[in-house]
Amino acid sequence: MLVYLLKRLGMTLLVVVLSMVFLGLLVHLVPGDPVKIILGPRASEALSALVRQEMDLDEPVLVQVWNFMVGAAQADLGQDFASRLPVTEILANALPHTVILALASLGLAVLAGVPLGVFAASHPGTWIDRLTGAVSVSLITMPAFVAGLLLLLLFAVSLDALPAVGSGSFSDPADYVRHLILPSVALALTWVGYLARLVRVNMLEVLGSPYIRTSEAFGLRPRLIFYKYALKNAIIPTIAMLGFGFGNLLGSAVFVEIIFSRPGLGTLLVDSIETRNYPIVRGAVLVVTVLVVLANLLADLSYRLLDPRIRLAGKEA
Amino acid sequence: MAAPALAVRPRRPLPGLASLQQVTSRPAGLFGLAVVLGLLVIVVLGPLLAPYGYSEQNIGERLQGPSAAHLFGTDQLGRDLLSRILVGTRVALGVAVPAVLGALACGLVIGVIAGYVGRWVDNVLIVVMDTLQAFPAVVLALALLAVLGASLQNVIIVIIVSFAPGYARVARALVLVAKENAYVEAERALGAKDLRIVLVHILPNIIAPMLVLVAMDIPAAIAVEAGLSFLGVGVQPPTPSWGIILSDGFERARETPWPIVFASLALMVTTLGFTMLGETLRDVIDPRIARVRRWRRTV
C-alpha cells in the first residue's frame, strides 16, 4: 500500500506540475504578441506595459513558465489587472461558494441516486426497472445548464417558491441553504442518473455472485442478504466515482453559478474571460484542476482502503 | 508456400445490416435511430423546412407564445423560434460531428503510437493525456477560448483538445490487446513492417468500437457547444446556436418561457437520441468497450 501511495502521490504531483506548465504556456499557443492575445488589439499602451511587466512577458518563455510555477507553489498567482488585488485573495473569496455547491450537489446525488439504483436492482426486468432506467438515461443526458434554466423557470419564475439570484449570506445559514436548493438540484440531476445506473449494475453483478447464492442456501432472509451483504459490496465502486463526480461538478458549476447569479469560481472565470483579466482566468483554472486531481486521488485511495480484494491483490503483486 | 494459418486475421466486421436489425429490434435503439435520422433530415432540409428566415426580425411580434403563425413563438426581436431551432440543428451537428471526428483522429494517432510503441513513449503520452484529462472539459474549453477567442472554429478546436485524450486512452487499451494476437505475431515473424501491421492488421480491428464511441460523444459535444455559446464564449450571434437561443431566453425568462422550453427540448431530445443509439450500438457491436473506457467527462 505504501509503494502504491507513493507512486500515486508522485503521479498526482506530476500532473499538477504539468498543468502549471500548460497554463504557463497557454498564451504562447497562439502565434503573435501575447499581450495582444490577452488584452485584445485595442488595449492601451499603459495597460499593455503593465501586463507585459507583471506576467514577465519580456522574459524567455521557459523563464515565464518557471516564474509562474514558483509563484503558484507559493500561492502567488499575480494581481488582478483591474482591482490590483492579489489573485489568490479573489480566488479564496470565491472558492468556498463553489466547493459548497459541488458538495451539496454530490450529497443530493448520493441521497437520490443510490436508493434509485437499489430500487431498480430489487425489481430486475420489471416495468419499475425499465422506468428507472429511462429516468436515469434522461437525467444523464440533460446538461446542467438546461436543468438549471428549467428549474429557474418553474420554481423561481412561475411558482416564485425559491430564490433565483445570489447565494444569501453565510451569517444567515437558513437563507444560504434556501439559495442553495435550486443550483444544487440542477447540478445534481446528471449525477443522480449516473449513480442510479452504476449502483443498479453493481447490485445485479453482486447478486449473481456465489456468496449470495450460499447465503440464500443457508436460509438467510432475502432482505438481510440484499441490504447487508449485497449492497455493502455493490456500493464500493460508487465511492471511486464520487471523487470523479466532485471534479465533474466543479466544472459544471460554471453554468449553474451564471444562471443563478451565484458568486464562485465559475462566475469569476467567465467574468474574467469577458474582461480579459488573464491572471484570474489562469488562477481559477489552476485551482479547479488541483481540486479535481486531489479529489481523484482521495477517491482512488479510499477505494483501495475500502475494498479488501484490491488491497490484497496489491500485496500479492 | 502458403502463409501459415496463424496469419489469417479475424477481421472485426464493421456495423452492417445484421447490426442495424439488432439496433432497430430494441426500443432504445429504434428511438435513437429515429431521432438521429430525423436530425439528419433537418440538417439537410433545415432552411427549407423553416417557415421564416432565422434572422428575419419582426419587432411588432416580439416575445409571442406559440400560435398558428409561429408554432414555437418568437424571441425578443420577433424572430421565429421554430425557424431558429431548425437552423440551429445545423450549427449543433455542424460543430459536434467534425469536432468528435477530429478528436477521434487525434486520439487514434496518439493512442496507437502509445499502445504499439510502448516503453517511454507510452509513459510520456499517457502522462500528457492524464494532464489534459485532469482539467474539467468545460474549464479546459474556457481556458483555451480565453486565448483563442470566441468563434465556431475555435469551439471545434477546444472540443477536439478536450475529447481527444479519452479516445487516445481507449485506442491505446485496444491496441495493447490487438497487438498480442497471434496473427500480429505471425505477421511480424513474416517480416511485416510496423506501419503495415498497424494500418492493415490493428486499425481495422479497433475502428468499429471507436466509431461506437463517436455516436456516444456527439451528444456531449453538442452540450459543450451549446453551453459555451450560452456563456457567450462559443458560437457568436446572429448564428442561431441552441445555446444562444437559451441565453436570449434566460435574459427574458420573466417575460416569456418559450425560448428556454423549446431550445431545451431540442437539446434534450437530441442528446437522448444519440446516447440511446450509441449505447445500443455499443451493446450490439462491442460490449467490451464499456470495460476499457474510462468514465466520460460531460457538461
Set of chain A residues whose Cβ sits within 8 Å of the Cβ of B227: 143, 145, 255
Task: Tell if the CB–CB gap between A143 and B276 is shorter than 8 Å.
Answer: no
Beta-carbon contacts of B185 under 8 Å, excluding residues fewer than 6 positions away, are B6
Set of chain A residues whose Cβ sits within 8 Å of the Cβ of B139: 250-251, 254, 269, 285, 288-289
Residue B228 lies in a domain: yes
Q: Environment class of residue A192 by beta-carbon count within 10 Å: exposed (0-12), middle (13-18) or buried (19+)?
A: buried
Task: Tell if the CB–CB gap between A157 and B143 is shorter than 8 Å.
Answer: no
List the single residue in A with minimal CA-CA distance to B148.
Answer: A30
B131 to chain A, closest Cα gap in Å: 5
CA distance B271 to B228: 16
DSSP string, A55-83: TTTTS-HHHHHHHHHHHHHTT---B-TTT
Query: By mean pLDDT, which of A43-47, A247-251, B164-168 is the weakest?
Result: A43-47
B124 to chain A, closest Cα gap in Å: 11
Residue B47 lies in a domain: no
pLDDT per residue over A191-219, tens digit each?
999 999 999 988 988 888 888 889 888 88
Residue type, A120: A
Q: Supply A133's cell numbers.
A: 432506467
Task: Tell if the CB–CB gap between B276 and A137 is shorter than 8 Å.
Answer: yes
CA distance B28 to B43: 22
How many residues belong to chain A?
Answer: 317
For residue A114, pLDDT over 80 is answered with yes
Task: Tell if the CB–CB gap between A26 and B219 is shorter than 8 Å.
Answer: no
Task: Tell if the CB–CB gap between B131 and A282 is shorter than 8 Å.
Answer: no
Percentage of the residues of chain A whose pLDDT score is greater than 90: 45
Q: Please count the structural domains in chain B.
A: 1
For residue A271, pLDDT over 60 is answered with yes
Task: Tell if the CB–CB gap between A23 and B264 is shorter than 8 Å.
Answer: no
Nearest to A289 among B135, B223, B267 (CB): B135
Task: Tell if the CB–CB gap between B264 and A241 is shorter than 8 Å.
Answer: no
Residue B93 lies in a domain: yes
Nearest to A18 among B127, B268, B275 (CB): B127
Q: What is the pLDDT of residue A138?
A: 92
Residue B56 lies in a domain: no
Residue type, B131: T
Partners of residue A79 on adjacent β-strands: A86
Tell me if A98 sits within 8 A of A253, measured CB to CB.
Answer: yes
For residue B296, pLDDT over 50 is answered with no
Q: Supply B213's cell numbers.
A: 464511441
CA distance A254 to B143: 13
Task: Tell if the CB–CB gap between A143 and B299 is shorter than 8 Å.
Answer: yes
A17 to chain B, closest Cα gap in Å: 9
ipTM over 0.90: no
Q: What is the pLDDT of residue A268?
A: 94
For residue A237, pLDDT over 60 is answered with yes
A164 to chain B, closest Cα gap in Å: 11
Set of chain B residues whose Cβ sits within 8 Å of the Cβ of A94: none
List the single residue in B with minimal CA-CA distance to A286.
Answer: B135
Query: By mean pLDDT, which of B58-67, B86-95, B287-296 is the weakest?
Result: B287-296
A189 to chain B, closest Cα gap in Å: 12
A219 to chain B, closest Cα gap in Å: 34
pLDDT per residue over A33-83, tens digit each?
778 777 777 778 888 888 888 788 888 889 989 999 999 999 898 888 878
B100 to chain A, closest Cα gap in Å: 17
List the single residue in B with minimal CA-CA distance to A271.
Answer: B231
pLDDT per residue over A127-160, tens digit each?
998 899 999 999 999 999 999 999 999 999 999 8
Q: What is the pLDDT of residue A310?
A: 62
CA distance A262 to A94: 10
CA distance B76 to A45: 39
pLDDT per residue over A99-113, tens digit each?
999 999 999 999 999
B80 to chain A, closest Cα gap in Å: 21
Task: Tell if the CB–CB gap between A278 and B146 is shorter than 8 Å.
Answer: yes
Nearest to A149 among B140, B250, B276 (CB): B250
Nearest to B268 among A141, A190, A274 (CB): A141
Tell me if A295 sits within 8 A of A244, measured CB to CB.
Answer: yes
For residue A289, pLDDT over 90 is answered with yes
- Average pLDDT value over all residues in chain B: 85
Task: Tell if the CB–CB gap between A285 and B143 is shorter than 8 Å.
Answer: yes
CA distance B85 to B74: 11
- The arithmetic mean of pLDDT across residues B271-285, rounded, is 86
Domain limits for position B185: 73-285
Residue B59 lies in a domain: no
CA distance A42 to A37: 11
Residue type, A11: M
Residue B102 lies in a domain: yes
Q: What is the pLDDT of residue A219?
A: 87
Residue B79 lies in a domain: yes
Nearest to B233 among A137, A273, A293 (CB): A273
Phi then psi for residue B194, to 5 deg, are -60, -45
Set of chain B residues whose Cβ sits within 8 Å of the Cβ of A285: 135, 139-140, 142-143
**What is the number of H-type helices and E-type strands within chain B?**
12, 0
Q: What is the pLDDT of residue A317?
A: 44
Q: Is B14 left (phi over 0), alpha (psi -120 to 50) or beta?
A: beta
CA distance A205 to A194: 17
CATH at B177: 1.10.3720.10
Task: Tell if the CB–CB gap between B136 and A247 is shorter than 8 Å.
Answer: yes
Residue B271 lies in a domain: yes
CA distance A145 to B223: 9
Residue B79: count other Cβ atoms within 10 Å of its Cβ.
25
